[in-house]
Amino acid sequence: MSLKEYERKRRFDSTPEPPAKLDTKSGHRFVVQMHRATRLHYDFRLELDGVLKSWAVPKGPSLDPADKRLAMEVEDHPVSYYDFEGIIPENNYGAGSVMVWDMGTWEPLSPVTVDGKYVPASDQEARTMLAKGDLKFRLDGNKLKGDFALVKMRGRRPGSKGNEWLLIKKHDANEVEDYDIDQYDRSVLTKRTMDEIAGDTGSAEWRSRPAGGGRVKAAWLSDAIAKYDKKKATEKKQGAESATQVEAKKEPAAKAPAKTKKAKTAAPVDIREAGEKKTAKTKKLKSA
């Protein structure tokens, strides 16, 4: 497991994304981040061996087993990316806005069924399934629940980058026919819409979240929310101190709409960049 590729793509003095740090303990959380970048997509991440194994899913996950969703494997992300929600500024890799669309826990499932049902497997089995390109797992999230598979596509077409998988819902009690992801458009972490996140000025977000942590049942979610609140409070405090002088000079009014526009016009590369960079590198090598 390495976060070198994650680190190489980012400049941490200009993005609020977390640094490339391997986690020492291995948990089993998952997160789906809605990412409005050059193209809207959903990043599907499973915690394993101190990193988040990651796939970019253009259409997002589905609870309908009839939907086979293309999932492009991307670089491992640090576990602390788990609750990253906010704006990646222009001219950064993946510039745009990021929403924590769903989060929860996952467990690997043995490929060998018992009485026709999938049963939990070990991390070692998960690694083997990943290496083979057929990972079965169970999700227990807020929006996504039940059994899924990530299946790697092989040699389907010339020019394939070899990073294409399919994310498929298995038949179980949690399946939903004609699942429409657009009906679920709020952050599980802050209850904000993507527009609210993109126009984040540090105040609107507090109104849209139900007050009090008592309504959140799952421990992993209340932990993440508490951590997010603490981080925001610190940022606000620091921001208030440094921003007063700068912002008073620059734009005295209408900060929120200006920011929203900015975030929408941000257009650098995103999920295709991994492939494009590889191509560029290959070309370089050839000509060298």
45 forms part of the interface with Mn ion (CB under 5 A): no
Give the nearer residue to Mn ion in terms of CB position, either 60 or 146: 60
Whichever of 35 and 192 has its CB closer to Mn ion, that residue is: 35
Written as six digits, the tokens of 141 are 């999230």
Which helix H or strand E contains 7, and what residues bound it? helix 4-8
Identity of the residue, 43 or 83, whose beta carbon is nearer to Mn ion in the bound complex: 43
Q: Which residue has the tokens 């997010």?
A: 228
For residues 35 and 145, which CB has a smaller minimum distance to Mn ion in the complex? 35
CB of residue 124 vs Mn ion: minimum separation in angstroms? 29
Instruction: Please report, as residue ranges, which positions from 144 to 183 form the binding site for Mn ion (by CB under 5 A).
Output: none
Which of left, alpha, beta for 107 (phi over 0: left; psi -120 to 50: alpha)?
beta
- Closest C-alpha among 274, 275, 284, 227 to residue 8: 274
Q: Is 43 among the residues that bind Mn ion (CB under 5 A)?
A: yes
The whole-angstrom separation of Cα 192 and Cα 172 is 30
Minimal distance, residue 109 CB to Mn ion, in Å? 26
Q: Six-digit token pair at 18?
A: 């977390």
Q: How many residues bind Mn ion (CB under 5 A)?
A: 2
User: What residue type is assigned to position 275 of the chain?
Assistant: G
Please tell me the distance from the alpha carbon of residue 44 to that of residue 273, in angstroms, as a whole number. 17
Span from 27-35, 127-135, 147-155, 178-186 in contact with Mn ion (CB under 5 A): 27-35
Least distance from Mn ion to the Cβ atom of residue 128, Å: 27
**Site for Mn ion, rule CB under 5 A:** 35, 43
